[in-house]
Amino acid sequence: MRNYIIKRILLAIVTIFVVMTLTFFIMHAIPGTPFRTGNDTISEESLAVLMTRYGLDQPLYKQYLKYVGNILRGDFGVSTSNGYRSVTEIILTAFPISADLGIRALIFGTIAGILLGIEASLHRGKAVDHLSTVIAIIGISVPSFVLGTVLQTVLGLGLSGWVKTVFHTDYQLFPIARWQSFRYTLIPSFVLGMGTVASLARLMRTSMLDVIDQDYIKTAKSKGISGWAIIWKHEVRNALMPVVTVLGRMIGGVVTGSYIIESQFAIPGLGKYLVNSITARDYTMTMGLTVFYSIFIVASMLLVDLLYCVIDPRVRLAK
């Protein structure tokens, strides 16, 4: 057990290190300097000053060591597209918003996905089952900006237009941009959560069907336990195990996968900064966010793996 935990933590550190190194060398494979990216006119003297100021005139290995050291101290450099604000500071202000959106989406997605999966497995081969398959496939494969656009137009603009003609107020039940009160969070969280709904519904269905065939379900039935108690206490509880594992891997995906929704709904989260930094060719910012995202994902996966060995006695015994 202890060995397993130590091994997982070491692996996580190695992973982050690999990502950091790869990012650094990709960053330095780009020709030119971060200060002269096209139309900027910077004199040779200012450029030299800037290069010394940010240590870019040093040999590569020294820069690498400095870069690693800086990241370890939580310094990701400065963002050229955000008025030379420090990337760390931007992360600290924007990440809580992304996390908020991600958590809402996860809560919605998990509950809806699991319920849909249970419903489908209980009515195998019926209309509900087929419907949930179609929802699942569309939810997984249709890009979120497509769903986002439709909801923004129909629920956001369409509904508020109707409200305006009927009630003569500017009240918006589903605002289509910004992140202010609960109303603002509804459509973005729904769109972001759809992917989770889809994959969890499918997974939960398969997992339930596996459990339903087990002998202990037959035993429970023959003992005369009521149908609902069997479904909730025996089937759902056992079927949830594989879902928990996947959920852990999903946390990272959902929190980092919100870049499209954030820029579409003008939510000032990390994803929006990521999209902006790409269009502005702000490499430090893009790379800094990439490293930050990987650290976040690795850490959340580590946490879930450790939790998993607390939850599932079999994992504990095996190690």
Partner 1 sequence: MEATTISGKTAEFQKDFTRVTRDIEASQKIHRESMTYLQGVVRTLKRNKVAVCSLVFILFLILVAVFGPILFPDYQKTDLLHTLQAPSKEHLLGTDELGRDVLTRLIRGTRISLFIGFAAETINLIIGVLYGGIAGFIGGKVDNAMMRVIDVLMSIPQTLVMILMLTVLKRGMGTLILSLTVTGWIGLARLVRGQILAMRENEYVIAARVLGAGKREILLNHLIPNAIGPIIVNYTMSIPGAIGAEAGMSYLGLGISVPEASWGNMLQFGASQFPASLWLFFAPAILFALSMLAFNLLGDGLRDALDPKMRK
The residues binding partner 1 (CB under 8 A) are 11-12, 14-15, 18-19, 23, 26-27, 29-30, 133-134, 137-138, 140-146, 148-150, 153-154, 252-253, 256-257, 259-260, 274-275, 278-279, 281, 283, 286-287, 290, 293-294, 297-298, 301
Residue 118 or 285: which CB sits closer to partner 1?
Answer: 285
Residue 293 corresponds to which tokens in the numbers above?
């995202």
CB nearer to partner 1: give 131 or 220.
Answer: 131
Query: Do residues 257 and 250 touch, judged by C-beta distance below 8 A?
Result: no
Nearer to partner 1 by C-beta: 134 or 166? 134
CB of 111 to partner 1, least distance (A): 24
Minimum CB–partner distance for residue 119 and partner 1 (Å)? 19
Q: Write down the residue that tokens 């990390």 correspond to.
A: 270
Residue 63 CB, nearest distance to partner 1 (Å)? 17
CA angle 169, 174, 180 (to 5 degrees): 100
Minimum distance, C-beta of residue 226 to partner 1, in the bound complex (Å): 32
Please report where in the chains the tokens 């310094």 appear, as a residue.
75
Read off φ and ψ for residue 85, nearest 5 degrees.
-70, 155
Q: How far apart are CA 275 and CA 259, in angstroms?
A: 7
CB closer to partner 1 out of 253 and 268: 253
CB of 181 to partner 1, least distance (A): 26
Report the distance separating Cα 197 and Cα 193, nearest Å: 6
Q: What is the b/e burial string over 278-297, where b = at least 16 CB atoms within 10 angstroms of the residue's CB?
A: eebebbbbbbbbbbbbbbbb
Residue closer to partner 1 (CB basis): 229 or 266 = 266
